[in-house]
Amino acid sequence: MNVAAATELKMRPIAPEDNAAIARVIRQVSAEYGLTADKGYTVADPNLDMLYQLYSQPGYAYWVVELNGRIVGGGGIAPLACSEPDICELQKMYFLSEARGQGLAKKLALKALDHAREQGFGRCYLETTAFLRQAVALYEHLGFEYIDGPLGCTGHVDCEVRMLKQL
């Protein structure tokens, strides 16, 4: 008798021991889509290997998604640097292929937006690239609207898709 393995899914706040695993996820997904450091994508972020420390600051939060004990994705929210104080940024939303198409990114994004409201933010900004068609479709579905130019000073020079959502 062949019994299918049970699937255990968890979404939880990042812990210090998650740094290496989520950095690997971000690097793997970035490589899959050709999002290289020289173009200013997330893999160029000097904090990539220390996300727990970064997202432990006031107003910041990051969640990882585990599938059967293995980190397969994550995403976070943070104040938008060099911007008006009521604007936060949805950041570092990356999921391995095995975790895509299951509604996990939507669930995580909604959690992040709820956190942003609780922190007193009035608007949420994001930057991405048109290469990430599924992500762009999700952000549209969540009510993000396209804006003409960048906000803040993210350093993501090749992120041509910029969106803002009223919270």
- Torsions phi, psi for 76 (to 5 deg): -150, 180
Number of H helices, E strands in the chain: 4, 7
Residue 126 carries which side chain, given as an amino acid letter?
L
Q: Does the pLDDT value for residue 5 go beyond 80? A: no
Q: How many domains does the chain have?
A: 1
What would the mean pLDDT of 18-37 be, rounded to a whole number?
89
Q: Looking at the domain assignment, is residue 19 inside a domain? A: yes
Give me the pLDDT at residue 2, please.
36
Helix (H, G, I), strand (E, B) or coil at 26: helix
Q: Looking at the domain assignment, is residue 49 inside a domain? A: yes
What would the mean pLDDT of 45-54 be, rounded to a whole number?
91
Q: Does the pLDDT value for residue 125 go beyond 60? A: yes
Q: Looking at the domain assignment, is residue 147 inside a domain? A: no
pLDDT band, residue 117 (cuts 50/70/90): very high
Pairing of strands 87-95, 123-128: parallel
Q: Looking at the domain assignment, is residue 141 inside a domain? A: no
Alpha-carbon span 75 to 112, nearest angstrom: 8
CATH of the domain at 58: 3.40.630.30
Q: Looking at the domain assignment, is residue 140 inside a domain? A: no
Alpha-carbon span 36 to 106, nearest angstrom: 25
Helix (H, G, I), strand (E, B) or coil at 71: strand
pLDDT band, residue 46 (cuts 50/70/90): confident
Q: Looking at the domain assignment, is residue 87 inside a domain? A: yes
What would the mean pLDDT of 42-61 be, rounded to a whole number?
89
Q: Looking at the domain assignment, is residue 128 inside a domain? A: no
Q: What is the mean pLDDT of the chain?
A: 89
Alpha-carbon span 77 to 92, nearest angstrom: 8
What would the mean pLDDT of 121-134 be, rounded to a whole number?
92
**DSSP structural state of residue 6:** P
Distances (CA, A) of 114 to 2, 31, 67, 109, 124: 42, 30, 23, 9, 11
pLDDT tens profile 66-97 = 999 999 999 999 999 888 899 999 999 999 99
Alpha-carbon span 61 to 70, nearest angstrom: 20
Q: Which residue has the higher pLDDT, 74 or 160?
A: 74
Which tokens is 16 given?
Answer: 């210090």
CB atoms within 10 A of CB 7: 8
Q: Looking at the domain assignment, is residue 46 inside a domain? A: yes
Which residues form the domain of 110? 9-122
| % of the chain exceeding 90 in pLDDT | 68
